[in-house]
């Protein structure tokens, strides 16, 4: 059974090839069958393989499957090998299941689009690349998947390519992540040159022999971090994600919420031993996480595009994951990833339902009162929102964020400061999430939805929302009664410092505080947006208020900074040098010889007597020289 | 003998194509195509045959060898030979020759016979360059490549063809003359020292040249190959020549002529002067890095799609120069893979631009736009080739560039890190090209058909080649290994001569 | 006994004649005069040869004079036919008008 592992990435890849070569000619039904079928089959096999793996090695263990030797030059011999352990298993299941559900959703969402076949081809390629990324046994193969998902992100953000802005957003995403990828590549070179291998397990074992803080570890970790920061849209390379919302909503759900953007989290988690040997870099990870989660939450509060709110929310939530990684709480970060994948993609799918129902409207302030017209959507959306804001009891998944915050508090080394930032972020999360819910679903109804949303869209949406709400149950059980759960299973693949509260009661107190903060946030949102909406308007109308609002709105100005520092100068300088300054040298040579030619041509004036004079003068000179010398 | 057949078939094909023009242009085209297909078969036979002298993988053995004395008094022999590296490049030559003929099928309507004569004679010159083992003969073929190429640009090229052709010719000549002087001096020195006056490669490999002179001789060779590669600083002939040449000419230029420069480094400049090459290696590596970045920088700025693609060649071949002079096995293998990958991907891109020009009568980025809807197949192929060009993992260029950087990192981490920026910059120009030509609102220049069967077949082979090389490059790496290994164990002095 | 003209004087006369002829070629515009001047240069050379032959007491000098005469005759015949053509093409005997081969 385990040997079917290779089918998990191979099936979506096969789907891609079929659709890429013949997608245009196939009817929509066939395209859906191929795309959804391949993903669904892949998900089923993933679950089967995972179940088998869990049965055979319940405490954790690794299964490897080599497909072929990619190349061999001397010591450098990467092979295409898939490896399955607790971490990759988790990621694989999440990617395939969420991917499958979003594919189903897309059948209806993209039904009217002329690029139907192209869309599903790219989506399949994405799933295949992402799976290759998480199942890779060595860094080179991981890099292949890493770039592959970046490619699909570019292709899908710019899917509606006729609009220049969409393509520009796609280019921005690709270029920013490529910058990070370049750093990642340099990190790979460094690791290979120093350790002689790219096999992840071997690297992690060899690294154990280095002292903490060794230059190799610091440099390699920093470079890998740069790649992760770009891919996961963390500060300061987060600028591409809000604009990436130009792509179709299923793309935003799958790539820019659930999976690709978490690749950075996966990378750091996977290479945890390396990061443990570079404590400074790890601390930077935590700082980046804390700063990002807060800044993005602030920005989310000011957005009025429904998808951009969710985009900033994603950036913020991944900030939590980075924060967890930064304090060494690998399992906490990954379990938050799992829950986030479900509820965030659910939120995006719900947003897609709303947007399509209103004929393409994105601005939440033009929406309202949809609770009555789209009841199912309202319920599923609110459930997912409650999960995001971490509020029991409807959702059982309220404590994934809380686990992170607990670990941060216990980590010492400025942990309390980071914890406070995380708490502020939690408050803001509840605030902006329910700002969104209240404005969109409650209140007056300026726009009426057109028709009813298709079941193909509602069912996956509801399933994801529901799954998001219950997936935290095992951890909840763990917290309540000490039953070993998911958390500890993840720890088998990524060992880290184990921190626990001294007393169970302390943990209860913290939990209550977290819930209270979220409830206060929701209440404030209700007050500000339902009871006293004019208050917000008056605050943003003041001079300070409007400046602040503007800065938060544009994501703290990083975009502007990059454009001024890098974008505009590069373009201007390139255009200036269009004719190639080096060529001037050779053009000068040509011009000089032309000039000399013109000069010398003056002696050829057709006048016979000049020529004779020349001959005579020459003869005199030569004879004179001959006589004298 | 098979090598001689290869040459003769190509030349014969050239003459037949020229003659058949009297009946019909189509007959000329078919004659050229048939000649190249016969070449392909011959090459397949050559590859399949077991080696003549010594085991396959030991350096200094030639898979097929042919040696006739030619100009006795000067020690010139008609000595041809191939090893894995040459065979790879010959395969690329024949393949790209077929691509060039196919790309010119509808583009060239005027003096078709003469066109194919020039094309095939250029190919014959290139085949000679890749197989010659006598330095005089090598130089003979080196010059032979140039003249038909000049005519290809000057007669069948675009608006500014006259200037471009002359610039190309003068640059290459100026670079080649020092090499000729170096060859003659080498001949004389070796002759004085050992009493054997010969231009033969194996003989001269072991020549003992006094240090002061050998540096200058090495520079002579370096200069010729540097202009051909091209190394940044002497690269300015390339954009003009590539842009003004007809599509088939551009494919041959970018796909093959540039590779002869790299081959020259690998086969002649490095083995003949190992110590001096080590001396100049840091300079060469810096030039390589500079080429990568500067080429990408220039490519982005262009308004002419063909010129953009031309500058990408400077950038990609910067990687090759870097890899060759880094001198580690990884870097050298990577450089060789890039040669093949670049030939395929950039050759393909030139065919794409040629297709654009034929259909929409424009190459300008500010005139084209939104063409994906009108010609989706062309857009798809262009996207694939653009992705190959920017080094997407899984495709051929990535394998080469990654190996080069990996190998260079061990020698100079700084240069490797700086060169890695090439990944970013190449994605900038590649996707910019896609954006301006195929995406955005449609430009409505003309109504034109999408790619036809002939074009799709050719592109299909190119794409298959790029994917295969990207996913399973081992056969190529194995074929190139003997030459790489011989480069890493330098031969100094007659005692360590190998093979003979 | 015949009085011998000193060789130096003779060569001087030849030199003067030569220079006169040269100046004539350079300065005069009429092609016939130029041809005459060239003739003068020829004769000057012949005179020099004769004087030289007399100095060395060899007959070669005078033999050279015959050669020079022959060459001069040939040159004159070709030159005059060219002059005829020139007059036909350009309508003038002025050498300054024949300057089309320039640039």
Residue B490, pLDDT score? 52
Phi and psi of B242, rounded to 5°? -65, -40
Which residues are bridge partners to B67 per DSSP? Answer: B79
Secondary structure class of A114 (helix, strand, coil): coil
A433, A388 in Cβ contact below 8 A? yes
From CA A421, how far away is CA A586, in angstroms rounded? 61
B455, B344 in Cβ contact below 8 A? no
Same domain, A592 and A503: no
Burial A377-389 (b: 16+ CB within 10 A, else e): bbebbbbbbbbbb
Which residues are bridge partners to A592 per DSSP? Answer: none
B293 vs B4, which has greater pLDDT? B293
Same domain, A447 and A592: no
Chains C and B lie in contact, requiring 3 or more CB pairs less than 8 Å apart = no
A582, B236 in Cβ contact below 8 A? yes
Same domain, A347 and A409: yes
Mean pLDDT of A581-597: 92
Contact A609 C102 (CB under 8 A): no
Q: What share of chain B is helix, strand, coil (3-state, %, to 5)?
A: 75, 5, 20
Asked whether residue A312 is assigned to any structural domain, the reply reads: yes
A408, A359 in Cβ contact below 8 A? no
Q: What is the pLDDT of residues A146-183, one digit of tens each?
A: 999 999 999 999 999 999 999 999 999 999 999 999 99
B495 pLDDT higher than 60: no
A213 vs A613, which has greater pLDDT? A613
User: Cβ contacts (< 8 Å) between B488 and chain A: which residues?
Assistant: none
Cis geometry, peptide bond prior to residue A236 (ω within 30 degrees of 0): yes
The domain containing residue C56 runs over which residues? 8-93
Lowest mean pLDDT among A209-213, A468-472, A607-611, B409-413: A468-472
Same domain, A374 and A510: yes
Residue B415, pLDDT score? 94
Contact C26 A612 (CB under 8 A): yes
A63 pLDDT higher than 70: yes
Same domain, A479 and A594: no
Residue C1, pLDDT score? 44
Lowest mean pLDDT among A405-414, B47-56, B363-372, B428-437: B47-56
Asked whether residue A282 is assigned to any structural domain, the reply reads: no
B487, B407 in Cβ contact below 8 A? no
Asked whether residue A133 is assigned to any structural domain, the reply reads: no
Contact C99 A607 (CB under 8 A): yes
Same domain, A515 and A593: no
| Strand duo A63-69 + B64-71: pairing | unpaired
B493 pLDDT higher than 80: no
Contact A606 C98 (CB under 8 A): yes
Structure tokens at B99: 């691509």
Contact A612 C99 (CB under 8 A): no
C66 Cβ contact partners less than 8 Å away, ≥ 6 residues apart: none
Residue B468, pLDDT score? 93
Among A531, A549, A574, give the residue marking a domain's end.
A531
Among A531, A550, A576, give the residue marking a domain's end.
A531
Same domain, A460 and A346: yes
B14 pLDDT higher than 90: yes
Distance of CA B234 to the CA centre of its chain: 17
A547 Cβ contact partners less than 8 Å away, ≥ 6 residues apart: none
Same domain, A583 and A479: no
Q: Chain A: residue nearest C100 by CA?
A: A606
Asked whether residue C39 is assigned to any structural domain, the reply reads: yes
* Residue-averaged pLDDT of chain A: 87
B50 pLDDT higher than 90: no
Asked whether residue A376 is assigned to any structural domain, the reply reads: yes
The 8 Å CB, 24+ separation contacts for A623-626 are none
Same domain, A511 and A595: no
Q: How far is A180 from chain B (nearest CA, A)?
A: 9
User: Cβ contacts (< 8 Å) between C96 and chain A: which residues?
Assistant: 607, 609
Which residue in A10, A185, A196, A227 has the most chain B C-beta atoms within 10 A of its own C-beta, making it the best mutation to test that interface? A185
**Domain count of chain C?**
1
Q: What is the DSSP string of C27-86?
A: H--BHHHHHHHHHHHHHHHHHHHHHHHHHTT-THHHHHHHHHHHHHHHHHHHHHHHHHHH
Q: How far is B162 from chain A (nearest CA, A)?
A: 14
Interior angle at CA C9, CA C5 and CA C10, nearest 5:
70
Lowest mean pLDDT among A369-378, A571-580, B61-70, B132-141: B61-70
User: Cβ contacts (< 8 Å) between A185 and chain B: which residues?
Assistant: 402, 405, 420, 423
B164 vs A391, which has greater pLDDT? B164
Residue A482, pLDDT score? 58
From CA A547, how far away is CA A541, in angstroms rounded? 9
Residue B408, pLDDT score? 94
- Give the C-alpha distances (Å, rounded to integers) separating B395 from A68, A203, B91, B435, C47: 16, 26, 19, 21, 90
Mean pLDDT of A25-45: 91
Lowest mean pLDDT among A418-427, B53-62, B157-166, C52-61: B53-62
Same domain, A298 and A345: yes
Q: Chain A: residue nearest C23 by CA?
A: A613
Contact A605 C102 (CB under 8 A): yes
**Nearest of A393, A357, A359, A388 to residue A375 by alpha carbon:** A357
**A-B Cβ pairs (cutoff 8 Å, strict):** 128
* Neighbors of chain A by Cβ distance (3+ pairs < 8 Å): B, C
Residue A526, pLDDT score? 86
Same domain, A492 and A375: yes
B84 Cβ contact partners less than 8 Å away, ≥ 6 residues apart: B63, B478, B479, B480, B481, B482, B483
Contact C99 A604 (CB under 8 A): no
Residue A375, pLDDT score? 86
Contact B232 A582 (CB under 8 A): yes
Residue A522, pLDDT score? 87
Which residue in B424, B451, B484 has the most chain A C-beta atoms within 10 A of its own C-beta, making it the best mutation to test that interface? B424
Asked whether residue A616 is assigned to any structural domain, the reply reads: yes
Tell me the residues of chain A between 123 and 182 that have a Cβ less than 8 Å away from chain B. Answer: 140, 143-144, 147-148, 151, 154, 158, 161-164, 167-168, 171, 174-175, 178-179, 181-182
Mean pLDDT of B157-177: 92
From CA A277, how far away is CA A297, in angstroms rounded? 31
Q: What is the pLDDT of residues A87-134, one digit of tens each?
A: 899 899 999 999 999 999 999 898 888 889 999 999 999 999 999 999
Asked whether residue C101 is assigned to any structural domain, the reply reads: no
Mean pLDDT of B342-362: 93
Residue A305, pLDDT score? 92
C20 pLDDT higher than 90: yes
B30 pLDDT higher than 50: yes
Residue A497, pLDDT score? 65
With cut-offs at 50, 70 and 90, classify the pLDDT of residue A372. confident
Contact C26 A616 (CB under 8 A): yes
B118 pLDDT higher than 70: yes
Q: Chain C: residue nearest A611 by CA?
A: C26
The domain containing residue A592 runs over which residues? 561-628
A196 Cβ contact partners less than 8 Å away, ≥ 6 residues apart: A75
- Give the C-alpha distances (Å, rounded to integers) separating C23 from A90, B309, C17, C28, C36: 107, 65, 10, 8, 12
**Domain count of chain A?**
2
Asked whether residue C57 is assigned to any structural domain, the reply reads: yes
A86 vs C46, which has greater pLDDT? C46
- Here the CATH number for the domain that contains residue C89 is 1.10.287.3510
Residue A485, pLDDT score? 63
pTM, two decimals, is 0.89
Contact A601 C103 (CB under 8 A): yes
Contact A182 B420 (CB under 8 A): yes
Residue C103, pLDDT score? 65
Residue B333, pLDDT score? 92
User: Cβ contacts (< 8 Å) between B438 and chain A: which residues?
Assistant: 161
User: Cβ contacts (< 8 Å) between A620 and chain C: which residues?
Assistant: none
Asked whether residue A573 is assigned to any structural domain, the reply reads: yes
From CA B104, how far away is CA B123, in angstroms rounded? 15
B220 Cβ contact partners less than 8 Å away, ≥ 6 residues apart: B178, B179, B180, B181, B182, B183
Q: What is the pLDDT of residues B85-97, one digit of tens each?
A: 898 999 999 999 9
Same domain, A449 and A572: no
B68 pLDDT higher than 90: no
Q: What is the pLDDT of residues C83-95, one digit of tens each?
A: 999 999 999 899 9
**Of the candidates A163, A178, A190, which has its C-beta nearest B427's C-beta?**
A178
B110 pLDDT higher than 80: yes
Residue A229, pLDDT score? 95
Report ipTM for this prediction. 0.90
Question: Would you call A76 an interface residue with chain B, using a CB distance cutoff of 8 Å?
Answer: yes
- Across B439-483, where does the E strand assignment appear? none
Asked whether residue A579 is assigned to any structural domain, the reply reads: yes
A394 vs A208, which has greater pLDDT? A208
H helix runs in B199-273, sequence order: 201-205, 211-228, 237-244, 247-252, 258-264, 270-272
């Amino acid at each position: 059974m385990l040997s079917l592992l290779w089918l998990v990435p191979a099936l979506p890849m096969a789907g891609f090839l079929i659709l890429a070569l013949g997608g245009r000619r196939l009817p929509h039904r066939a395209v859906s069958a191929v795309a959804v079928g391949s993903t669904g089959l892949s998900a089923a096999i993933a679950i089967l393989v995972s179940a088998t793996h869990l049965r055979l090695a319940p405490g954790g263990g690794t299964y490897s499957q080599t497909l072929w030797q990619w190349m061999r030059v001397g010591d450098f011999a990467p092979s295409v090998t898939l490896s399955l352990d607790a971490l990759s298993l988790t990621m694989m299941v999440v990617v395939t299941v969420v991917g499958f559900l979003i594919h189903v959703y897309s059948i209806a969402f993209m039904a009217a689009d002329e690029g139907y076949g192209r869309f599903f081809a790219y989506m399949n390629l994405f799933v295949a690349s992402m799976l290759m990324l998480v199942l890779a046994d060595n860094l080179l193969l991981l890099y292949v998947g890493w770039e592959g998902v970046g490619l699909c992100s570019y292709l899908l953000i710019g899917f509606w390519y006729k609009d220049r802005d969409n393509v520009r957003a796609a280019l921005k995403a690709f270029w920013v992540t490529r910058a990070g990828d370049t750093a990642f590549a340099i990190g790979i070179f460094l690791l290979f040159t120093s350790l002689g291998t790219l096999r992840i397990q071997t690297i992690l074992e060899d690294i154990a022999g280095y002292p903490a803080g060794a230059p190799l570890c610091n440099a390699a970790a920093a470079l890998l971090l740069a790649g992760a920061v770009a891919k996961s849209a963390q500060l300061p390379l987060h600028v591409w994600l809000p604009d990436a919302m130009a792509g179709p909503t299923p793309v935003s759900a799958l790539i820019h919420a659930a999976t690709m953007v978490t690749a950075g989290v996966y990378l750091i988690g996977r290479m945890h031993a390396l990061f443990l040997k570079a404590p400074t870099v790890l601390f930077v990870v935590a700082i980046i996480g804390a700063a990002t989660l807060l800044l993005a939450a602030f920005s989310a509060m000011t957005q009025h595009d429904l998808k951009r709110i969710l985009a900033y929310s994603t950036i913020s939530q991944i900030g939590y994951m980075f924060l967890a990684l930064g304090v060494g709480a690998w399992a906490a970060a990954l379990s938050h990833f799992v829950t986030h994948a479900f509820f965030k993609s659910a939120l995006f799918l719900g947003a897609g339902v709303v947007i399509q129902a209103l004929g393409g409207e994105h601005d939440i302030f033009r929406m309202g009162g949809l609770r009555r017209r789209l009841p199912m959507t309202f319920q599923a959306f609110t459930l997912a929102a409650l999960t995001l804001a971490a509020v029991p009891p409807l959702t059982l998944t309220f404590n994934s964020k809380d686990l992170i915050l607990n670990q941060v508090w216990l980590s010492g080394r400025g942990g309390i400061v980071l914890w406070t930032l995380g708490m502020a972020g939690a408050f803001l999360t509840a605030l902006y999430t329910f700002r969104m819910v209240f404005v969109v679903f409650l209140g007056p109804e300026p726009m009426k939805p057109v028709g009813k949303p298709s079941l193909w869209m509602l069912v996956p949406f509801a399933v994801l929302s529901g799954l998001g709400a219950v997936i935290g149950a095992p951890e909840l059980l763990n917290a309540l009664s000490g039953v070993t759960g998911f958390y500890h299973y993840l720890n088998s693949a990524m060992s880290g410092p184990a921190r626990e509260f001294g007393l169970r009661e302390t943990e209860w107190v913290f939990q209550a505080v977290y819930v209270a903060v979220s409830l206060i946030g929701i209440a404030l949102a209700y007050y500000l947006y339902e009871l006293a909406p004019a208050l917000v308007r008056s605050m943003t109308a003041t001079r300070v208020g409007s400046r602040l609002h503007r800065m938060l709105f544009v994501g703290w100005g990083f975009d502007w900074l990059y454009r001024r520092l890098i974008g505009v100068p590069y373009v201007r300088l390139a255009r200036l040098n269009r004719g190639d300054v080096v060529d001037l040298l050779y053009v000068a040579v040509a011009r000089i010889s032309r000039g000399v030619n013109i000069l010398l041509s003056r002696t050829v004036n057709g006048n016979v007597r000049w020529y004779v004079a020349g001959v005579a003068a020459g003869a005199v000179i030569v004879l004179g020289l001959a006589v004298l010398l | 003998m098979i090598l001689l057949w290869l040459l003769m078939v190509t030349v014969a094909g050239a003459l037949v194509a020229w003659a058949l023009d009297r009946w019909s242009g189509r007959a000329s085209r078919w004659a050229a195509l048939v000649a190249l297909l016969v070449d392909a078969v011959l090459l397949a036979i050559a590859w399949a045959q077991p080696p003549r002298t010594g085991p396959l993988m030991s350096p200094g053995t030639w898979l097929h060898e042919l040696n006739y004395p030619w100009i006795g008094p000067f020690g010139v022999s008609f000595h041809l030979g191939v090893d894995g590296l040459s065979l790879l490049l010959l395969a690329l030559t024949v393949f790209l020759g077929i691509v060039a003929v196919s790309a010119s099928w509808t583009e060239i309507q005027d003096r078709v016979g003469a066109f194919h004569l020039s094309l095939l004679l250029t190919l014959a010159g290139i085949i000679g360059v890749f197989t010659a083992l006598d330095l005089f003969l090598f130089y003979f073929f080196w010059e032979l490549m140039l003249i038909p190429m000049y005519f290809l640009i000057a007669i069948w090229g675009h608006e500014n063809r006259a200037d471009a052709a002359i610039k190309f010719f003068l640059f290459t000549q100026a670079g080649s003359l020092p090499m000729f002087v170096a060859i003659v001096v080498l001949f004389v020195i070796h002759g004085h020292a050992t009493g054997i006056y010969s231009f033969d490669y194996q003989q001269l490999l072991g020549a003992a040249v006094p240090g002061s002179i050998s540096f200058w001789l090495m520079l002579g060779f370096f200069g010729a190959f540097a202009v051909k590669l091209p190394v940044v600083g002497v690269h300015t002939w390339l954009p003009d020549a590539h842009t003004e040449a007809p599509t088939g000419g551009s494919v041959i230029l970018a796909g093959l002529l540039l590779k002869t420069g790299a081959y020259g480094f690998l086969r002649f400049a490095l083995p003949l002067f190992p110590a001096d090459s080590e001396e100049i290696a840091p300079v060469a590596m810096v030039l390589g890095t500079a080429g990568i970045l500067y080429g990408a920088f220039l490519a982005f700025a262009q308004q002419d799609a063909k010129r953009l693609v031309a500058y990408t060649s400077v950038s990609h071949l910067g990687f090759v120069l870097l890899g060759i002079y880094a001198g580690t096995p990884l870097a050298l293998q990577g450089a060789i893979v890039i040669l093949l990958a670049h030939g395929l991907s950039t050759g393909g891109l030139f065919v794409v631009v040629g297709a654009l020009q034929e259909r929409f009568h424009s190459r300008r980025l500010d005139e084209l736009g939104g063409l994906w809807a009108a010609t989706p197949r062309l857009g798809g192929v262009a996207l694939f080739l653009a992705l190959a060009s920017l080094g997407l993992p899984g495709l051929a260029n990535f394998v080469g560039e990654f190996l080069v950087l990996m190998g260079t990192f061990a020698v100079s981490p700084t240069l490797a890190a700086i060169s890695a920026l090439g990944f970013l910059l190449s994605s900038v120009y590649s996707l910019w090209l896609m954006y301006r030509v195929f995406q955005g609102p449609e430009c409505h220049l003309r109504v034109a058909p999408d790619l036809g069967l002939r074009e799709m077949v050719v592109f299909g082979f190119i794409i298959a080649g790029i994917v295969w090389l990207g996913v399973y490059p081992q056969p190529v790496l194995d074929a190139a290994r003997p030459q790489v290994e011989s480069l890493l164990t330098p031969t100094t002095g007659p005692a360590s001569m190998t093979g003979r | 006994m015949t009085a011998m003209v000193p060789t130096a004087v003779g060569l001087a006369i030849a030199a003067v004649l030569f220079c006169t002829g040269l100046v004539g070629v350079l300065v005069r515009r009429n092609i016939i005069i130029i041809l005459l001047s060239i003739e003068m240069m020829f004769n000057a050379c012949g005179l020099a040869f004769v004087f030289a032959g007399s100095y060395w007491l060899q007959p070669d000098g005078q033999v050279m004079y015959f050669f020079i005469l022959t060459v001069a005759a040939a040159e004159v015949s070709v030159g005059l036919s060219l002059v005829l053509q020139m007059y036909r093409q350009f309508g003038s005997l002025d050498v300054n008008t024949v300057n089309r081969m320039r640039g």
